[in-house]
Structure 1
Amino acid sequence: MKRIETIKKIVDSGVVAVIRAESKEQGIKIVDAVKKGGINILEVTMTVIDAVDIIKELSQVYKDDDDVVIGAGTVLDPETARACILAGAKYIVSPSLNPDTIKLCNRYRVPVMPGIMTVRDAIEALELGAEILKVFPGSAFGPSIIKDFKGPLPQGNFMPTGGVDLNNVEEWIKAGAVAVGTGSSLTKGAKTGDYELVTRTAQQFVEAVKKARQK
C-alpha cells in the first residue's frame, strides 16, 4: 500500500482504534471485535506484550483485505519503528516528537504521526514531513485546541488521542480534526471479556464521526 493511500484511508475512516491489551490473545480478540464494529484502522501499541508479533500476525491475516490498515503505536524510537515496519505495520504513531523516527519512516515511505503539544512541535513535525500530527494527550486540551492550532497552521492535519470518547468525538471532528484516536473508551468491554460491547462501541464511534462530518 502506498503512503498516500494509507493516509487517505486513515482520514476517510476518521477513527483509529488504539489497541492495548494484557496479552497477545486478548489483543487479537480486541482487534476482531473492533473490526466487526466497522473500524478498520488498527493501531497496536508497543505496550502490548508481543506487539510486534501481533502486528506480523494481523498483517498476514488481513493481507488480502485492502480496507484494513494495521499500524504501530507508542513507538518511541527509530529502531522500534523499523521492527514494526518489517513486521508489516503500514503506519507509525508516536506519543512525542522524535525527529529520527520521522526520518526513518520517511526513508521507507511509511506514514508517521508524531505526538505534539505545542505550535513549535507542530511546525517541527511539518518541516520533517509528517502529514498527520497527533495531538496528545487530547484530554489536556479539549477540542478547542484544534482551532487554536489551525489558526497559525491551517495546513496542519491534526488527530487527537487521549481523552477522546463518545461524549466528545463529534466536537473534535467539528473543531477540525481529520481523525481521532481512541483506546480505553473504545475497548473497555475487553476488561470483562465483553467483546460484543467493544463491537457496539466501535459502531457508535463510526456513526458519531459520520454524523459530525455531515453537519
Structure 2
Amino acid sequence: MKRQEIVAFIKSERLIAIVRTKEQEKVPEIIEALVQGGIRVIEITSNTPGFLNEISKARERYATSKILIGAGTVTNKVIAEQTIKSGAQFLVTPNVNQKVLAIANQYDIPVAMGALTPTEICTAVDFGADIVKLFPAGNLGVKYFKSVKSPLDDVCIFAVGGIDFSNIEEWIAAGVSGFGLGSALTKAKYGEEVECVKINTERFVKIKKEAKWIH
C-alpha cells in the first residue's frame, strides 16, 4: 500500500491498537487476538523488548492480510529508521519531531505525530504529519479537546492516553476522528489474556460501527 492509501485506511478504521508489553513472547498472541477481534491497524512500541524483530515477524505473518503493522513510541530519527527498515508501515510518536518526519518522508511512510497544545498541533501539521495524535488526551479531557478542535477543525485528530470504554463515546460525540488504545484493549479483566483482548476488540468494533462520527 502507498502512503496515502495507508493514511486513508487508518482514518477509515479509526483505531490504532497499541501493543506495549514487558514480555516479548506475548506480542504475537496479543496481535493475533486483536486481529481475531477485528482490529486492522496495530503499532508495536519501541519500549517493548525485541520490538524490531516483532515488527518484522508480524509483517511476515500478515503479509497476505489487510493488516497494517506500524511502530509506536518513535521518539527520534534513529528509532524511525530502524523500525522502517524492519518493515513498519507507519510511525506513531508521542512528541513533535521534524527529524522523524524527514526520515518517514524519505521512505514515503506516514506518521501519526503526538502533540498536545495548539502550537504543537499546528507545528506537526506544518511539518507534514498525516494524523495528529492528541497525547495525553485523557489527562486534559474532552472539554480541552473541544476547545482545541474548534479553531483546528480541519485537522485529523486521534485521541490517545486515558481513553477507555467508560468515556470513548463522549470523545466520539465531541468530534474526535479516531483513537489509539492500549490497555483498554489488552488489559486482562475477563480471565485469560488472549480471550480478554478479543472480547475488548470486538466491543470497540461494535461501538465504531454504531457510532455517529462527526469527523
Q: What TM-score bracket applies, with the shorter chain setting the length?
A: over 0.9
Q: Give yes or no for contact 1:56–1:88 (8 Å, CA) kept in 2.
A: yes
**1:121 is the counterpart of 2:120:** yes
Percent identity, aligned pairs only? 33
**1:132 is the counterpart of 2:142:** no
The match for 1:85 is: 84
Q: Following TM superposition, by how much is the alpha carbon of 1:27 offset from its aligned partner in structure 2, in angstroms?
A: 1.0
What letter corresponds to residue 77 of structure 1 in structure 2? N
* Cα distance between partner residues in 2 of 1:130 and 1:139: 21
* Cα distance between partner residues in 2 of 1:191 and 1:209: 21
What letter corresponds to residue 195 of structure 2 in structure 1? E
The match for 2:201 is: 202
Q: Following TM superposition, by how much is the alpha carbon of 1:193 offset from its aligned partner in structure 2, in angstroms?
A: 4.3
Q: Following TM superposition, by how much is the alpha carbon of 1:173 offset from its aligned partner in structure 2, in angstroms?
A: 1.9
**1:23 is the counterpart of 2:27:** no
Where does 1:152-191 land on structure 2 (aligned, <5 Å)? 152-189=151-188
* Cα distance between partner residues in 2 of 1:190 and 1:168: 18
Change (3 A) 1:50 1:191: farther
Q: Following TM superposition, by how much is the alpha carbon of 1:91 offset from its aligned partner in structure 2, in angstroms?
A: 0.5
Deviant stretches of 4+, over 6 Å = none
> Which moves more between the two structures, 140-149 or 28-37?
140-149
* Cα distance between partner residues in 2 of 1:206 and 1:12: 12
Q: Following TM superposition, by how much is the alpha carbon of 1:150 offset from its aligned partner in structure 2, in angstroms?
A: 2.1
What letter corresponds to residue 88 of structure 1 in structure 2? G
Q: Following TM superposition, by how much is the alpha carbon of 1:147 offset from its aligned partner in structure 2, in angstroms?
A: 2.3
* Cα distance between partner residues in 2 of 1:204 and 1:117: 28
What letter corresponds to residue 203 of structure 1 in structure 2? E
* Cα distance between partner residues in 2 of 1:93 and 1:145: 22
Unaligned ranges ≥5, structure 1:
none
- TM-score (structure 1 length as normaliser): 0.94
Where does 1:52-63 land on structure 2 (aligned, <5 Å)? 52-63=52-63
Is the partner of 1:213 in helix, strand or coil? coil
**1:112 is the counterpart of 2:111:** yes
Is the partner of 2:212 in helix, strand or coil? helix
Give the superposed CA RMSD: 1.7
Change (3 A) 1:117 1:196: same
Aligned pair count? 214
Q: Following TM superposition, by how much is the alpha carbon of 1:78 offset from its aligned partner in structure 2, in angstroms?
A: 0.8
Q: Following TM superposition, by how much is the alpha carbon of 1:191 offset from its aligned partner in structure 2, in angstroms?
A: 11
What letter corresponds to residue 131 of structure 2 in structure 1? I
Change (3 A) 1:76 1:109: same
Change (3 A) 1:113 1:214: closer
- TM-score (structure 2 length as normaliser): 0.94
* Cα distance between partner residues in 2 of 1:214 and 1:93: 23
* Cα distance between partner residues in 2 of 1:102 and 1:145: 26
What letter corresponds to residue 75 of structure 2 in structure 1? L
* Cα distance between partner residues in 2 of 1:59 and 1:79: 20
The match for 1:8 is: 8
The match for 1:36 is: 36
Change (3 A) 1:199 1:59: same
* Cα distance between partner residues in 1 of 2:155 and 2:57: 33
Q: Give yes or no for contact 2:10–2:41 (8 Å, CA) kept in 1.
A: yes
* Cα distance between partner residues in 2 of 1:214 and 1:75: 29
What letter corresponds to residue 169 of structure 2 in structure 1? E
Q: Give yes or no for contact 2:96–2:114 (8 Å, CA) kept in 1.
A: yes
* Cα distance between partner residues in 2 of 1:190 and 1:96: 31
